[in-house]
């Protein structure tokens, strides 16, 4: 059963700031959803291989050749803060 502490821990992993009332509400909602998901434990899956992808996935490679890329000003166009032609962020904690 997921606890409110679990919810706060997972929110930290997910880099999501959640308020106290949100954590409480989410604990109830996630518990209900996970209870439904636990239905999967009825199945004996020991001998079943996993499917990560429905297509036969093959590595797609291309020639190691220089190609035109997005110009710097285009790449920076949507940035909330820019400095010296780079993305600007606050200091690390």
CA 44/CA 49 separation, integer angstroms? 12
Is 31 near other proteins (CB under 8 A)?
no
Is 2 near other proteins (CB under 8 A)?
yes
Footprint of other proteins on 71-90 (CB under 8 A): 74-75, 77-81, 87, 89-90
Minimum distance, C-beta of residue 72 to other proteins, in the bound complex (Å): 11
Minimum distance, C-beta of residue 25 to other proteins, in the bound complex (Å): 8
Contact 79, 73 (CB under 8 A): no
For the chain, report the end-to-end CA distance as a whole number of angstroms. 33
CA 3/CA 31 separation, integer angstroms? 8
CA 62/CA 7 separation, integer angstroms? 42
Binding site for other proteins (CB under 8 A): 2, 6-7, 10-11, 13-19, 22, 26, 29-30, 32-34, 36-43, 45, 48-55, 57, 60, 62, 70, 74-75, 77-81, 87, 89-93
């Amino acid at each position: 059963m997921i606890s409110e502490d679990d919810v706060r821990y997972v929110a930290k992993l997910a880099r999501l700031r959640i308020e106290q009332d949100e954590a409480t509400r989410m604990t109830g909602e996630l518990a209900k959803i996970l209870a439904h998901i636990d239905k999967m434990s009825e199945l004996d899956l020991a001998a079943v291989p996993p499917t990560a992808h429905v297509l036969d996935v093959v590595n797609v490679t291309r020639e190691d050749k220089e190609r035109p890329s997005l110009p710097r000003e285009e790449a920076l166009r949507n940035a909330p803060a820019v400095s010296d032609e780079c993305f600007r962020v606050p200091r690390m904690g």
